Structure 1
Amino acid sequence: MRGRRYLIFIVLVVLAMVAVVLLNGGMGSATGPVMIGILLTAVLVLISVGVTTDFYSELVDSMRTESLLKVNACRFYLYGRGGSGKTTLIKSWLGGDIRPEQSTKFFAFYSGEKYVDLETKKQSRIILSDYQGQSPSQNTLNASAKVLGQPGRRLINAVFFVVDIAPRLERNNQPLSTEELIDWLATDTESKIQKRLEQHLEYIVPAILEIVFATVYSTNLLNVTLVINKIDLLESVVAMGCIPGISQANVDEYARNLFRRIEMNVREACDRITSPEHHIDFNVSIVSAANGTCVAQTFNEVLRRYANVSSNRSKPERRRTAA
């Protein structure tokens, strides 16, 4: 931020010097010195504003954001309760030190480049929406049209509904580590998992699903995925024998059965907007955003389909010739 301010400062100083040189031809007139004085005063005010406030840096950021969102990109829309791991999921795929391109109190988006094909080194721009998750309206009524596209012309290619095994817990305003979460989950395990499941069931209900799909739907939508996060926590407590009858061999099946009702609700909502002319893939992905298990695979599957569809759309139609 400071470097950007210095750059703006230098540009303004240079412009001021150029203006003075150009106006020097009028020094002989009565108004020449007055005009130069006014100009220098105005420039000094502009410099002061640029150095002491975020006005110019925010202007540059806004222009960059506008430009960024106009490019073709594979766009992901993540929906899920607060603490389910949406942001961690994004950072796991893009890199832990990635920062949002734009952030408000409720809504943010991330952007980057990802390889579609390592062999050909083909890349695609990606944009991912994120929000706090305390209220569904944050990612529906208050969602940014610049990220989603204008109503009636939405640009979203994939919707990920994110659920998890255990909530985010904090101590002294800091989230518990994975080890601390495992210790917490190791006692009264099934009851705690069931309570978290009920929270997701209250959040992802058919009425809300209808609103979500009404918010994001267009023929650009290619994929809907139910993402079951924090499988690493479940694997750990299963290994400790905290859930009778469940072993490492069937832990994924257990996780999927937990969220079967949500899966059916999402699938049915997806089926209602699917037509013979517009097929939407539906997947269930079991991941760990914390350690990266199956995260890249989940996103890359969508990215490859987006690239294939985009490639087919860009191919010119062959003209039929009469026999």
Structure 2
Amino acid sequence: MHKIEVPEANITFDFPESALEFNQEQTILFSKLLLLYQSGQITFKQLQIHLTYHFLNLKRRADFTKSENNQVAENIYQIGKLVKDYFTEYRENEETKYKVKMDFYIQKIPKLTVDGIEFYGPTDALFNTVYGEYLQVMNHFTEFSKTKSLDDLDAMVATIYRPQKDNYKKLKTSTEYDGDIRKKFNANLTANYVSFISKLDLETKYAIYLYVASCQHFIANCSALDIGGGNSIDLSQLFNGDETEANGLGMLGTLFSLAETKAFGNIKEVAEQNTYDVFAYLVKQSQDYKKLKKNART
């Protein structure tokens, strides 16, 4: 967190260094301004100024056309440069453009409320998702990335945001509690959840899109996932650099392949396994195959 000091007023402001330090309100505002920037409704400089005012919680806006406010304008401009740290700068058609960094994998929107019904989201980096849920959310994520269809965006959000488990208060104290407040994933119920999720504002749903995109980026580039006991695994080898569509594995194919091995059981049972447990198994399979291939050459 950047510390911005104003000695004359004896005030110190906190300014996020990256999206990892955003709170929920900042995450949704960023999403809203990003949508406006991507659609050409505001310039990148306007995005910088709006975020700076909000992040510093400045209620009063100075009239920058007046000379006496030149110093204020300069201060805002200099602080606003920090916003560039949330983006990767690149050139296209001799024009400078900005692509958002995938730093949104920390869960900042744990709960949504629609028509009085609460929907709970997954934890950081999709850690508490099951494999069938992961496959479905990535399918909708990929389709929205291609088509920008709001139906796909709604289905993506509705896949991972679900109501609280029945009898949750009693269940969470029992030995059967799996640590997830959400109802068990059931693909057949997604359409029902969509009827509620579709009523959310676009910036909130797009903020969740950034979260899913960042989670997949984290997974596809994670070369040292801590699995305890001083051990780690390299998930990146499973994706071959393909993180946008998450099909480096031939995703759906792995569901059937794993079912054939009986490592987790049938297709339904594989789909109900924790996503990261499945990844860990696939990494081991990949490593065993490479060893077998290497030994065959010697």
Normalising by structure 1, we get a TM-score of 0.23
Name whichever structure is richer in strand by fraction: 1
Normalising by structure 2, we get a TM-score of 0.25
Structure whose alpha-carbon radius of gyration is higher: 1
